[in-house]
């Protein structure tokens, strides 16, 4: 099994920044695509960002494109989500996910991910 632990969430003012981290263990981290998803109360979980197994390609939801950046360091078994210019509508619980297929590419589909973290809360409010 793979274990994913998110951290870095918190309360931030609109326009501020946060950096979320996802630490992975239990599987060869470098061979799998990683993704970030979020879920606000009363809403479906939605895709935020993804990065391929090698880190060579990334893909973002239109709602966060230009503001968020996903990155990874396979040597550290960690993936990050840098969140800039945060808006109140970014308020949600953010989940890290690991792909189900080795050497997989970036994917926005939840069905392509096999493991999920507990999530970390991000609240954007003045």
> Residue-wise pLDDT tens for the chain (126 aa)?
789 999 999 999 999 999 999 999 876 777 899 999 999 999 999 999 999 998 999 999 999 999 999 999 988 989 999 999 999 999 999 999 999 988 889 999 999 999 999 999 999 999
Q: Can you say whether the dihedral through the CA atoms of 6, 29, 67, 90 is positive or negative?
A: negative
Q: 38, 95 in Cβ contact below 8 A?
A: yes
Q: What is the pLDDT of residue 30?
A: 75
Q: What is the pLDDT of residue 27?
A: 67
Number of H helices, E strands in the chain: 0, 11
DSSP 16: -
**Gap between the Cα atoms of 37 and 94, Å rounded:** 6
Instruction: Please state the φ and ψ torsions of residue 37, each to the nearest 5 degrees.
Output: -130, 160
Residues near 86 by beta carbon (within 8 Å), at least 6 away in sequence: 12, 13, 14, 15, 16, 17, 18, 67, 122, 124
Q: What is the pLDDT of residue 26?
A: 74
């Amino acid at each position: 099994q793979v274990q994913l632990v998110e951290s870095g969430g918190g309360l931030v003012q609109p326009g501020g920044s946060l950096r979320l981290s996802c630490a992975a263990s239990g599987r060869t981290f470098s061979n799998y695509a990683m993704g970030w998803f979020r879920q606000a109360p009363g809403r479906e979980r939605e895709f935020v960002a993804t990065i391929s197994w090698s880190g060579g390609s990334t893909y973002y939801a239109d709602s966060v494109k230009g503001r968020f950046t996903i990155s990874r360091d396979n040597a550290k078994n960690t993936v990050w989500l840098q969140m800039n210019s945060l808006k109140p509508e970014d308020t949600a619980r953010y989940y890290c996910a690991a792909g189900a297929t080795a050497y997989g590419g970036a994917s926005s589909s939840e069905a392509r991910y096999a493991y999920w973290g507990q999530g970390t809360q991000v609240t954007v409010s003045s």
